[in-house]
Chains A and B, each alone.
Chain A
Amino acid sequence: MVQISVGPDPPLRARVTQTLRRKCGCRLPDFGMAAAGARWNHVWIGTETGILKGVNLQRKQAANFTAAGQPRREEAVSTLCWGAGGETQILVGCADWTVRHFSTEEGRFQGQRHCPGGEGTFRGLAQVDGTLITCVDSGILRVWGDNDKETSSGPLLELRVGPGVCRMRQDPVHPHVVATGGKENALKVWDLQGSEEPVFRAKNVRNDWLDLRVPIWDQDIQFLPESQKLVTCTGYHQVRVYDPASPQRRPVLEATYGEYPLTAMTLTPGGNSVIVGNTHGQLAEIDLRQGRLLGCLKGLAGSVRGLQCHPSKPLLASCGLDRILRVHRIRNPRGLEHKVYLKSQLNCLLLSGRDNWEDEPQEPQDPSKVPLEDTEADELWASLEAAAKRKLPDLERTPGALQTRKRNKKRPGSTSP
């Protein structure tokens, strides 16, 4: 005898209708579904065609979000960073010197601000206390005030960092401290609340064995937690650790990997090693205590443009010019977890740092969702409920409750076509 639980509770109904919906082959319109589920996306990626992609690895879905509805190459996303308030807002830096705000709760772009000044694309984006920090290729670092005020008022603070900037990174522990570095532009650490001069200015290493000056090309910078140290990776395949607390301005540790420029870098959970990627698509984990190679990750075929590790789980998301997002597991065992083909060239990514990767609580019945339930599902439910009533006639209270519930659901549903 089939036991049908009397009085199905809303979560069960939601789950069943979802299954029915899937089985019936009817789908919610993509935008609605994408927007509704945007907050659960695990990875956000910016592309060269101006599309922001949100990928949900549990449901294995990728959704496109554009500000204008159409992809535009002029809006190529060059940097991404989390906005204020946890991970509910994303700041998208585009190639046309605008910074757009995207809300993950609502799944759409909310506003934008034009941040002109300098030439070249954004190389770094950060936000602190409601202000926005931008840095462009030509070395102009600007702090922009609140969005509510007129944008024509100009930047609150402007610094000249030096030409050829490749990266500007904000210290997660001290949000007013930023570091910049680039091609022939040595690493400099700036305190935006302090003076106009950098707090720490790195010195180049000694001349090499041929007594030639070693060129500088800092491609990516990371702040090491629990200390003042910084790590940089260079276009001349070096990984260097600087310590502003120590008297020497030269790098404290230097390690090399491969023969191709290293383009991206991220810290691993644990803080003892970094993972770097180069233009050939090779990913390597380098230990910072000894400066040796711990291991490599396979799979990428194109230049690595974005790398990020999860703060607690051993997961690494990588994206590159081969248009595929890969999520690797860094340890026990080291290997590929997910691979998603996204059709445009990927420029930068943001990995959600939340812990409940797997749990996705079913969204409660929103009135907006009910019109989209198709009538077949309702009929099926009606027949099921009728069967329930038939099978268990002793419970008199519950049929009434069922009916009222049905009535509640039907009311908004009746307006749908």
Chain B
Amino acid sequence: MEEAGDKSGGSRKKGLKRKAATEELQEAAVVEDGATESGVQPRKVAAFPPGFSTSEIKNKQRRHLMFTRWKQQQRKEKLAAKKKLKKEREALGDKAPPKPIPKTIDNQRVYDETTVDPNDEEVAYDEATDEFASYFNRQTSPKILITTSDRPHGRTVRLCEQLSTVIPNSHVYYRRGLALKKIIPQCIARDFTDLIVINEDRKTPKILLAVPHEVEFVRRGKDPTEHIPEIILNNFTTRLGHSIGRMFASLFPHNPQFIGRQVATFHNQRDYIFFRFHRYIFKSEKKVGIQELGPRFTLKLRSLQKGTFDSKYGEYEWVHKPREMDTSRRKFHL
């Protein structure tokens, strides 16, 4: 709390000078009396003992008054400073120094040592031979099974349906009390390549292995067509991010049909992955119109397991540990 402003506070509500002349030990009440008596005398400004802040005033209304006055003054100073800066910039014209960039959490991100360098051969080899390599080599085409937890509610069912329209070559099956571990070998036998399980938490759908934070259904009449969409993966920089990005990319077939003008976007920001599905149309060279179709949801990675789903005995490649990993607000893992 600035004390310079406080010292200048006077007894009267309006019309008192803000800047304190001297520090005098005077009670506010005494000054007020003195002021009312001597209207002709030069205005005395009430001064406060050094080290006094307005928060020590016991009278709430008075305290509030002092605070609002201080706030107004701060605002005035800020405005004055801004105007001054603007004038200086205009005066300098071209020679003005560039505007300082505001600090954001994304700007201040702690450099992650696992950030992938595009020229890195070892990482390139690792990616070229991992489990998703067969998709990227166009050897296999994805076939996806979408299912839910047992006895799904309405919202989950609708999400499943929307997802199945968004992701080509996907099928929705209800899980009537079947164990996941038993489903997996059957899926493999029937050539399914991916399995998406939408779990429920208090009747809001949540996807297994990634926890969505909010799911919104786009309530437009438009539906995605059967064309295979293009995929945009934004901002997956670290090695882990790369793996996740490849996993998402492998959900969709690898021959985007540009005629369909549909695009699915997985945008990673601050470890949250936003999924959007749009249809775009180029009105001119630079202008694009987009229309949002399909569900919109946000995901957060909880864990990445090696091999197929086995929560008890499986080996984890990455596990989110909140108390260890979330200590810094500027450190992100994807």
Interface residues of A (CB under 8 A from B): 49, 51, 64, 70-71, 73, 235, 260-261, 263, 279-281, 298-299, 301-303, 321-324, 341, 343-345
Contact = CB atoms under 8 A, between A and B. Distances in A.
A20 B306 CA distance: 46
B122 to A, nearest CB: 5
Interface of B: 113-114, 120, 122-123, 125-126, 129, 239, 306, 312-319, 321, 324-325
Contacts of A51: 122
Max count, chain A CB within 10 A of own CB: residue among B312, B316, B318? B316
Nearest to B130: A73
B315 A323 contact: no
Given A64-B122, A344-B122, 8 more contacts: A49-B129, A51-B122, A71-B122, A235-B313, A260-B312, A263-B315, A280-B319, A321-B306
A302 B313 contact: no
A49 B126 contact: yes
Contacts of A298: 324
A343 B306 contact: no
Contact of B319 (A71, A302, A343): A302
Contact of B321 (A73, A260, A301, A303): A301
Given A73-B129, A299-B324, A341 B318 contact: no
A279 B120 contact: no
Q: Is the interface of A mostly helix, strand, loop or mixed?
A: loop
Nearest to B324: A298
B129 A302 contact: no
Contacts of B314: 279
Contacts of A64: 122
B125 A303 contact: no
A280 B313 CA distance: 10
Given A71-B125, A344-B126, A323 B114 contact: yes
Contacts of B317: 302-303, 321-322, 345
B239 A323 contact: yes
A49 B313 CA distance: 24
Nearest to A321: B317
Contacts of B123: 343
Contact of B125 (A49, A281, A341, A345): A49
Contact of B239 (A49, A261, A343): A343
A298 B122 CA distance: 27
Given A261-B313, A279-B316, A302-B319, A341 B126 contact: no
Contact of B316 (A71, A73, A303, A343): A303
Contacts of A343: 120, 122-123, 126, 239
A321 B122 contact: no
Contacts of B313: 235, 261, 279
Contacts of B324: 298-299
B316 A321 contact: yes
A94 to B, nearest CB: 15
Nearest to A324: B114
A49 B324 CA distance: 29
B113 A301 contact: no
A302 B317 CA distance: 4
